[in-house]
Amino acid sequence: MDKNQFYKSLMGFSETKDNQIKRNVTLKRWEIAHISEEEYWEEYTTESLSKRSSERYKKKAKILIEEWKKYIKINSKTKVLQIGCGPDDVINHFPVVKKYSIDPLADFYKKKFKFNYKSTNLQKAGGENIPFKDSFFDVIVLTNVLDHTHMPEKVLSEIQRVLKKEGLFHFENYIFQRNFLRIAKIWGILKRIFGNEIYNVHHPYMFSLQDLKSLISEKFSIIKEEVGRDIGNYENFQEFEENIKKERKITIKIPARFGLYGSINYSCFCKKNHI
Cα–Cα distance, 56 to 183 (Å, whole number): 32
Q: What contacts 96, CB < 8 A, 6 or more positions away?
A: 65, 74, 75, 76, 78
- Burial class for 167, CB neighbours closer than 10 Å (0-12, 13-18, 19+): buried
pTM of the model: 0.90
- pLDDT, one tens digit per residue, over 12-71 is 655 544 455 566 788 898 999 999 999 999 999 999 999 999 999 999 999 999 999 999
Angle at the Cα of 129 from the Cα atoms of 134 and 100, rounded to 5 degrees: 65
First-residue to last-residue Cα distance in the chain = 41
Cα–Cα distance, 144 to 233 (Å, whole number): 14
If one compares 263 and 274, the residue with the highest pLDDT of the two is 263
- pLDDT, one tens digit per residue, over 184-221 is 888 788 888 888 888 888 899 999 898 899 999 999 99
Tell me the CATH number for domain 3-272.
3.40.50.150
- pLDDT, one tens digit per residue, over 119-147 is 999 999 999 999 999 999 999 999 999 99
Q: Are 115 and 100 in contact (CB under 8 A)?
A: no
Cα–Cα distance, 135 to 159 (Å, whole number): 9
Cα–Cα distance, 60 to 121 (Å, whole number): 20
What are the backbone dihedrals phi and psi of residue 174, each rounded to the nearest 5 degrees, phi first?
A: -75, 140
What are the backbone dihedrals phi and psi of residue 130, each rounded to the nearest 5 degrees, phi first?
A: -80, 120
- Burial class for 92, CB neighbours closer than 10 Å (0-12, 13-18, 19+): buried
Q: How many other CB atoms are there within 10 angstroms of residue 201's CB atom?
A: 16
- pLDDT, one tens digit per residue, over 216-248 is 999 999 999 999 999 988 888 888 888 887 777
Q: What contacts 37, CB < 8 A, 6 or more positions away?
A: 105, 148, 202
How, if at all, do strands 137-143 and 98-103 pair? unpaired
Helices (H), 43-91: 46-49, 55-68
